[in-house]
Amino acid sequence: MLPQFQAIGQALAAKGLVSCFSGNLSVKLGERMVITHRGSMLGAIGVADLVETGIGKNDRFTPLASTELEVHRYVYKRTPALAIVHAHPLYAVTLSLTMEEVTPRDMEGKKALGKVPILGNNLTTVEAGSLVEEITEALKQHRVVLVRGHGSFATGQLLEEAYYYTAVLEKSCHILYLLKMMEMASAAGE
């Protein structure tokens, strides 16, 4: 399991989808999960960066888990997801500050994602009881969701699948951003 976490963590870091100590990964194992340690560097995951804890209840390892643990737990309890990638993709987060949803214009984004909802009102953290339910409900219908000004949550049967949706979202948002800049430049030139 460590190699899978390392590969996805390195890919996220290499593509700039997470900063030094941001983002988290998890996989569901029956009634338990393996999740990255609080404050892990996803680009350099080691054995000590993985925490196994309960999905339904706390244990002695729970305090070591990512600060987004409650989101992961709630999603696993209420969806068929077996893996979650939480990232902070630059263009997606940027667009989340001015849009209500992301509608990709590129073919891959349209096919893989459809529309991506943007949840929350300028929140910077996701807390149990606030957006946890909203994130989970949205992930029942979408492969990836954005939390306004915060980041994305993507699910899949494998970490690779959740990573793919994260990467496609960022590529689609980059394209949308560039199109907006071209439209602004064109309007300024008229």
Q: How many Å apart are CA 118 and CA 101, to the nearest integer?
A: 5
Is 50 exceeded by the pLDDT of residue 8? yes
| Domain assignments of the chain as residue spans, ordered by start | 2-189
Main-chain phi, psi angles of 20, to 5 degrees: -45, -55
- Residue 128's pLDDT is 43
Helix intervals (H) in 54-106 = 69-78, 90-96
* Tens of pLDDT, residues 53-80: 999 988 888 898 998 999 999 999 999 9
CATH, domain range 2-189:
3.40.225.10
Q: Determine the residue type at 5.
A: F
- Residue 126's pLDDT is 52
Going by the DSSP 8-state scheme, the letter that residue 30 receives in this structure is: T
C-beta of residue 147 within 8 angstroms of C-beta of residue 123: yes
The gap from C-alpha 135 to its chain's centroid, in whole angstroms, comes to 11
* Tens of pLDDT, residues 126-178: 554 578 999 999 999 999 999 998 999 999 999 999 999 999 999 999 999 99
- Residue 140's pLDDT is 96
* Tens of pLDDT, residues 94-110: 999 999 999 999 999 99
pTM for the full predicted model: 0.93
Q: How many Å apart are CA 58 and CA 11, to the nearest integer?
A: 30
Is 70 exceeded by the pLDDT of residue 123? no
* Tens of pLDDT, residues 39-54: 899 999 999 999 999 9
C-beta of residue 37 within 8 angstroms of C-beta of residue 69: no
